[in-house]
Amino acid sequence: MKVVLFCGGEGMRLRGYSEDVPKPMVTIGSRPVLWHVMKYYAHYGHKEFVLCLGYKGNAIKNYFLEYEESVSNDFVFSQGGRQLDFMQRDIDDWRITFVDTGQRSTIGDRLRLVQPYLKGEEVFLANYSDGLTDFPLPEMVSEFSRRDSFASFLSVQPRSSSLDTVQLDEDGSVKAIKCMKDSNLWVNGGYFILRQDVFQHLNPGEEFVYEPMQRMIAQGKVWSRRYEGFWQCMDTFKDKQILDELESSGKAPWCVWDNGRAARVTA
């Protein structure tokens, strides 16, 4: 299955850090968050990507055009650097389609604009490119294949949020106040599985998860998988710090390609 990656946003909540690069190019360790997302999918056999570019899309193009494999792979240096023998390879078997989908397009419009590159893909994957997880993807793909849903996404709990939830009576009396992680609230984790049917519900200018998704929900065609394991977005500088610390510890949960978890490739 091809993977559509929405990577055209400006990342306004990371302003001050990411002014020179688009949000997907903000690094975790030595690699941008976009690379980590792609590496996750590649681990499960999904190595054909369609990148929906927008804000500073050239930074993403140039990253791959000038890709330095030595940054994340062991290698043998010989002949004064004229020969590098890599112990393993990163992206040799990846196929990446770069599509300019506009500076300020909605997610729905970005998806509509890459439809021609998804011909023959009855089912495909999509992602916001700013959240990382260790969720076993083949489980969700397998269950989705048994359903007649048009769309599915991973539901997660934002455990690192500093926000509190408040439960009120109609007169404003506070019944309860809880930190986000204890409130049993679920949010869209940004890991989608979609069928071609979704394109029948997309109209110009609409945000995908609002008007189009609501129409599909009304038809009973949207399903979500709850996951209580690791998931972390990178919306703020604090989120970046959390991910950086996990990566530097050598125990980053989302690095399923490094943690000994066997990949069960999904068709």
Looking at per-residue pLDDT, the higher value among 144 and 8 belongs to 144
Looking at the chain, the whole-number percentage of residues with pLDDT higher than 70 is: 85
Q: pLDDT tens digit string along 201-236?
A: 999 999 999 999 999 999 999 999 999 999 999 888
Give the model confidence (pLDDT) of 51-65 as tens digits.
999 989 999 999 999
pLDDT of residue 267: 56
Is residue 233 a contact partner of residue 154, using CB atoms and an 8 Å limit?
A: no
Which of 78-87, 91-100, 105-114, 220-229 has the weakest average pLDDT?
A: 78-87
Mean pLDDT over residues 154-180, rounded? 82
Q: What is the pLDDT, as a whole number, of residue 161?
A: 63
Torsion of CA 181, 185, 186, 188, to 10 degrees: -90
Report all structural domains of the chain as residue ranges with CATH numbers, in order of start: 3-71+88-158+186-248 (3.90.550.10)
Residue 263 has pLDDT above 60, yes or no: no
Mean pLDDT of 250-254: 93
Task: Provide mean pLDDT across the span 98-124.
Answer: 95
